[in-house]
Amino acid sequence: MEANMVTAIDSKSSATYVRRLEHLLDASRLLNSTLELSELTEIVLRIVQDEIPVDRCTLFVVDRKQKLLRLFIGLGGHAAVTGEPLDIEDAYADERFQQKFDEQFGYRTKDALCLPVFNCDGVIVGVLQLLNRTRPLNREDKEFLDSMCTYLGLALHNAWVHRELVESRKAEQELRQIRDRLEQAEKLSAMNELVAGIIHEMKNPLAVAIGYCSLMEEEVTAPVTERVSKVKTAVAQALKVAKNFLNFARSAGERVPTDVNSLITQTTELLTYDFRSRRVKLVCELDHLPITWVDPGSIQQVLLNLLKNAHQAAGDKAGGGTISIRSSHNSERSTIRIEISDDGPGIPAEVQSRIFEPFFTTKPSGSGTGLGLAVSKRIIEAHWGKLTFESTPGQGATFIIELPVHESTF
Ligand SMILES: Nc1ncnc2c1ncn2[C@@H]1O[C@H](COP(=O)(O)OP(=O)(O)O)[C@@H](O)[C@H]1O
Ligand SMILES: [Mg+2]
């Protein structure tokens, strides 16, 4: 009879033992299958709670740089700092216990077990905290928890290494992008100085050539007139490029208090004829704007560039399209915003990342210089503002200028 009882107890405990072993194997397999901290935590908590008779189980993860996450205090914090396990029967009688956590979560802690988790280098990477057991923990429970903590330490270590690798790759990529941008800026400024000098010298002879072409057009007869007119168009295009480029090099001049709405009105007036000739409708919604410190010439140049692009885009629409200009004031951020929208073809996704590049154009040679947006962005950024765009291909484009109102913010 007695012998039978022993066998019964043995088979029961060996069944528990086998189940736990299976659970541990499961844990090891699952923990090896993920590098995500949140997933790791979920796996551990599920397995521990299945096996160990406690009411609440929490995994605290220690920051890689040894800053303990919210762990300097409380029982878990103590285990993390000392690296020693804590087994407390009555939490409220222990001065290290922080009642405020119970108050915060509406919980009543009775007993607590805090097990530090170490990685393979013996560095503490977490604390497993078990609260309010439903029966006393036996030797097997503690062995099970020890094994879990060992697996957990390895898994957390892998997760950290993985996270660091991803972060360092991201940082490397960002650094490369900054270096590329810097290189481009350096190239541009070296090119600016060189080319601006040459172009400045070219501007006058080009203007003279246009003048002589105009004279010749009156003096000669067909077919020479036609040829002269073609020469004149070509030289005018060269002069346009030269002027654009000089604006690009100059970026922005002296800032003065300016009424930007009246700058917008003046600029649209300049384009009235062009708009009408291609049946492009213009809608203006100008809000009251505060006087803003800008270089009016440069800002007008930007408005002109954006309006010309919008005009080209909307003008291609059958029956003529519509351009809208909106201005508004953000008093909280002390900025003004100008939006220029058209209902043209929009900007194809594949060129969106390139439109601000100098000399990038999708227009036929002779009609686009690819400098309008590059010049505009440079001018707006020289005013500490932002030039951005939104476009759904097929549904038009909106270019947005944001400028700080005050000179002091420059
Ligand atoms: N409103 C717009 N709608 C569609 N595409 C635009 C618009 N504005 C600019 N783009 C695109 O950006 C390119 C660069 O513009 P920009 O720098 O002004 O040079 P350009 O007008 O001489 O081509 C244009 O060739 C065009 O592809
Ligand atoms: Mg343009």
In this prediction, residues 78-92 reach a mean pLDDT of 87
Residue pair 377/267 in contact (Cβ under 8 Å)? The answer is no
- What is the distance in A from the centroid of ligand 2 to the CA of 352? 14
Highest mean pLDDT (candidates 47-56, 148-157, 223-232, 281-290)? 281-290
In this prediction, residues 79-104 reach a mean pLDDT of 88
Q: Indicate the length of the chain as a whole number.
A: 410
**pLDDT-derived band at 261, boundaries 50, 70, 90:** very high
Structure-token pair, residue 128: 């497993």
Q: Is 363 touching ligand 1 by the criterion CB < 6 Å?
A: yes
**Which H or E run includes 348?**
none
Q: Is 356 touching ligand 1 by the criterion CB < 6 Å?
A: no
In this prediction, residues 306-330 reach a mean pLDDT of 91
Question: Given the DSSP bridges, would you call strands 322-330 and 281-286 parallel, antiparallel or unpaired?
Answer: parallel
User: Residues near 75 by Cβ (< 8 Å), separated by ≥ 6?
Assistant: 86, 88, 91, 94, 96, 97, 98, 112, 114, 129
Angle at 232 between CA 305 and CA 375, to 5 degrees: 20
- 1-5, 190-194, 377-381: the lowest-pLDDT one: 1-5
Amino acid 3: pLDDT: 39
Cα dihedral 209, 212, 216, 218 in deg (nearest 10): 130
Domain-wise residue ranges, the chain: 11-167, 252-409
Residue 351 has pLDDT above 50, yes or no: yes
User: Residues near 14 by Cβ (< 8 Å), separated by ≥ 6?
Assistant: none
Neighbours of 155 (CB within 10 A): 28
Neighbours of 191 (CB within 10 A): 14
Q: Is 395 touching ligand 1 by the criterion CB < 6 Å?
A: no
Amino acid 96: pLDDT: 86
In this prediction, residues 141-168 reach a mean pLDDT of 84
Amino acid 184: pLDDT: 66
Q: Whose CA is nearest to atom 19 of ligand 1?
A: 370
What gap in Å lies between CA 316 and CA 312, rounded to an integer? 6
Q: Is 314 touching ligand 1 by the criterion CB < 6 Å?
A: no
Comparing 11-167 with 252-409, is the CATH topology the same? no
- What is the distance in A from the centroid of ligand 1 to the CA of 228? 30
Which of the ligands is closest to the CA of residue 376? 1
User: Residues near 84 by Cβ (< 8 Å), separated by ≥ 6?
Assistant: 116
Amino acid 306: pLDDT: 96
Amino acid 354: pLDDT: 94
Question: Given the DSSP bridges, would you call strands 124-133 and 397-404 parallel, antiparallel or unpaired?
Answer: unpaired
Q: Is 352 touching ligand 1 by the criterion CB < 6 Å?
A: no
In this predicted model, which residue has the larger pLDDT, 213 or 201? 213
**pLDDT-derived band at 15, boundaries 50, 70, 90:** confident
Interval 185-197: pLDDT, tens: 666 667 666 777 7
Q: At what angle do helices 260-277 and 296-315 cross, to 10 degrees?
A: 30
Interval 204-247: pLDDT, tens: 889 899 999 999 988 889 889 999 999 999 998 888 877 777 76
Q: Is 49 touching ligand 1 by the criterion CB < 6 Å?
A: no
Residue 391 has pLDDT above 90, yes or no: yes
In this prediction, residues 1-18 reach a mean pLDDT of 53
Q: What is the chain's mean pLDDT, rounded?
A: 83
Amino acid 187: pLDDT: 66
What gap in Å lies between CA 223 and CA 12, rounded to an integer? 111
Amino acid 5: pLDDT: 39
| Amino acid occupying residue 238 | A
Residue 337 has pLDDT above 60, yes or no: yes
Does domain 252-409 match CATH 3.40.30.10?
no
The CATH number corresponding to 11-167 among 3.30.450.40, 3.30.230.70, 3.40.50.1860, 3.40.50.970 equals 3.30.450.40
Q: Is 394 left (phi over 0), alpha (psi -120 to 50) or beta?
A: left
What gap in Å lies between CA 268 and CA 221, rounded to an integer? 38
Ligand 1: which atom is nearest the Cα of residue 374?
Answer: 17
Which of the ligands is closest to the CA of residue 241? 1
Amino acid 247: pLDDT: 65
